[in-house]
Amino acid sequence: MAGAVTKTTPLRLVVAVLLAFLAVTASAYLQAKSPATKGDFRYGANFAVASGTLLNQLLFRKKHLNVDQITPYSLGIQIGWFKKVLAAIASTDVQRREIMASSLFLVGEIGANDYNHPFFQNRTLGFVRPLVPRVIRSIALSVEALIKLGAKNIYVPGIFPLGCVPRYLYFYRGGEPGDYDSAGCLRWLNGLTADHNRMLKGKLRELGRAHPGVSITYVDYYNEVLSLITRPAVNGFAAGTVLRACCGGGGPYNANLTLHCSDPGVVPCPDPAKYVSWDGLHMTEAVYKIMARGMLDGPFATPSIMSKCNHS
């Protein structure tokens, strides 16, 4: 998912950035038949697609994955949509570059689905691990495409700790004690996540050196979410529920893979704000709010987004 936000008053910025998070579960906010006017797009546009990947659907098909659940709208396609919106809101090259230079771009969080799809189709770590450098290259290409159009302020989040996600904990249940860290998360899966994030940070530093004058900032979703799981009480979460979904089909972690939150008869927990995980895969609104604040005000993005805003 990539979101673009035109620099404007702080309030508008908050709304637009939060939308980028919430759209993970919604379908594309930006659609061909969207009633939004060109004027609306000047304040922000969200290109998020539910279950969107970085890698092309074709690649998954070639690797013999079932692509019924994998959308064809990879990040590259979303960048194509972005170019169309840009062309629609400004008629001259000078205007377009002016809009790019005064806008803020949030590229991601994206990448987790590239790993989720194969894992939930029973592929091994040996299958998924080699995808990581390709995923990172794909993020870099998208960031470069935005820079080429004139972007000056880009935020790129890493992925959150997949080893603490209830659906994964259920899927790989019954492991050896040594498979779990002190928080109860799967070590090897958090290891994969950490590898992705480390490579992403390195790539963003490289891009920053290659493009002086462009601010490219890594956003640390991994440590932000992990801190909620390891120190739940600090943020009002219940210790016993950090690895359990609020809304699910029962069983350990309340993340039964055959019965989902959206299925008839599944009743959400009465106190979602005390949970980290909403449906076993996505976080609760309470968590997204904390993540948004950590990026807007810091410390999980340096410089924070608000410190870049024009407060006049």
Ligand X SMILES: *[C@@H]1O[C@H](CO)[C@@H](O)[C@H](O)[C@H]1NC(C)=O
Question: Which residue number, 103 or 256, has a Cβ lying nearer to ligand X?
Answer: 256
250 binds ligand X (CB under 6 A): yes
From 238, 297, 221, 306, select the one nearest 272 (Cα to Cα): 238
- For 220-255, the DSSP string reads -HHHHHHHHHHSGGGGT--GGGTTSBSSSS-SGGG-
How far apart (Å, rounded) are the C-alpha atoms in residues 223 and 244? Answer: 19
Question: Which residue number, 260 or 289, has a Cβ lying nearer to ligand X?
Answer: 260
How far apart (Å, rounded) are the C-alpha atoms in residues 92 and 123? Answer: 48
Q: Judge contact between 222 and 158, C-beta under 8 A.
A: yes
How far apart (Å, rounded) are the C-alpha atoms in residues 11 and 190? Answer: 35
For the bound state, the minimum distance from the C-beta of residue 258 to ligand X, rounded and expressed in Å, comes to 4
Q: Evaluate the CA torsion angle 60, 62, 65, 67 in order and state its sign.
A: positive
Question: Which residue number, 21 or 119, has a Cβ lying nearer to ligand X?
Answer: 119
Two tokens at 272? 């979602």
Question: Which residue number, 10 or 250, has a Cβ lying nearer to ligand X?
Answer: 250
To the nearest 10°, the Cα dihedral for 227, 185, 243, 198?
Answer: 50
Two tokens at 253? 């972690």
258 binds ligand X (CB under 6 A): yes
Stretch touching ligand X by CB under 6 A, among 2-10, 38-46, 227-235, 253-261: 253-261
Question: Which residue number, 46 or 53, has a Cβ lying nearer to ligand X?
Answer: 53
Stretch touching ligand X by CB under 6 A, among 15-23, 70-78, 108-116, 252-260: 252-260
Q: Give the contacts of 231 (CB within 8 A, at least 6 positions apart).
A: none
How far apart (Å, rounded) are the C-alpha atoms in residues 131 and 172? Answer: 20
Sketch the per residue contact string, 63 through 102, with ligand X: x for CB under 6 A, - otherwise. Answer: ----------------------------------------
Q: Judge contact between 39 and 179, C-beta under 8 A.
A: no
Question: Which residue number, 171 or 180, has a Cβ lying nearer to ligand X?
Answer: 171
251 binds ligand X (CB under 6 A): yes
Stretch touching ligand X by CB under 6 A, among 68-76, 130-138, 210-218, 256-264: 256-264
For the bound state, the minimum distance from the C-beta of residue 61 to ligand X, rounded and expressed in Å, comes to 15
Q: Judge contact between 123 and 20, C-beta under 8 A.
A: no
Stretch touching ligand X by CB under 6 A, among 3-11, 192-200, 227-235, 250-258: 250-258
Q: Which of 92, 122, 124, 312 binds ligand X (CB under 6 A)?
A: 122
From 76, 72, 78, select the one nearest 57 (Cα to Cα): 72
Question: Which residue number, 250 or 303, has a Cβ lying nearer to ligand X?
Answer: 250
- For 24-74, the DSSP string reads TTS--SS-TT----HHHHTT-EE---TT--SS-HHHHHHTT---TTS-S--
Amino acid identity of 304? S
How far apart (Å, rounded) are the C-alpha atoms in residues 149 and 298? Answer: 27
Residues in binding contact with ligand X, number by CB under 6 A: 9
For the bound state, the minimum distance from the C-beta of residue 65 to ligand X, rounded and expressed in Å, comes to 9
Question: Which residue number, 141 or 257, has a Cβ lying nearer to ligand X?
Answer: 257
For the bound state, the minimum distance from the C-beta of residue 120 to ligand X, rounded and expressed in Å, comes to 7
Q: Report 226-245 residues binding ligand X (CB under 6 A).
A: none
Question: Which residue number, 41 or 253, has a Cβ lying nearer to ligand X?
Answer: 253
For the bound state, the minimum distance from the C-beta of residue 131 to ligand X, rounded and expressed in Å, comes to 17
Q: Which residues bind ligand X (CB under 6 A)?
A: 121-122, 249-251, 256-259
